[in-house]
Amino acid sequence: MKSILVVGAGPAGMRAALRAAELGAQVELVTSGEFGGMAANDGPIPVRTLAHAARLIREARQLGQYGVITSEPVLDYSRLLLRVQEVVEETRARSGRRRDFESLGIKVHEHTGTARFTDPHEIETESGLRLQADAMILCVGGVSRRLSLPGFN
């Protein structure tokens, strides 16, 4: 049985790990942070929750136009951040993905810090974890950067 190590637990890494396991590979998945990657933890899910709060404030300010008298809405930012965390946790809890991983025997390593190759078939993480595999799939996302081109701002 071929061993596969998937680096990155965002949508691409999760899909790659699931597909490799479905095809019969022995799969491990490693992530520097939380299972689900940026999308679940820092991206669209938390951002949508913040956007929903903004829409609710806007709509509350429009209630007077419909004869509904209320006081000006006040944002409790610390409570909003708690709600964001609740939504992220609820999303994780409802996600069948974790159960899919367990049922396919995929071993997940979270909070390992960044990883570096020690040879073509082995990585070592910041936390000291060393993992080997016949093949690796890198799904680590990306970050934007400024290009050093004339006219690029």
Structure tokens at 123: 């990585």
Whether the predicted pLDDT of 89 surpasses 90: no
Quick count: other Cβ atoms within 10 Å of Cβ 72? 7
Query: 46: which residues sit within 8 A by CB, 6+ positions away?
Result: 84, 87, 88
Residue 117 confidence (pLDDT): 95
9 falls in which pLDDT band (50, 70, 90)? confident
Q: Which residue has the higher pLDDT, 44 or 63?
A: 63
Residue 96 confidence (pLDDT): 52
Rounded-to-integer distance, Cα 5 and Cα 8, Å: 10
* Domains of the chain from N-terminus onward: 3-138 (3.50.50.60)
User: In terms of Cα–Cα distance, which of 3, 31, 25 is closest to 11?
Assistant: 31
Structure tokens at 70: 């209320």
| Lowest-pLDDT range of 4-8, 19-23, 97-101 | 97-101
Residue 37 confidence (pLDDT): 63
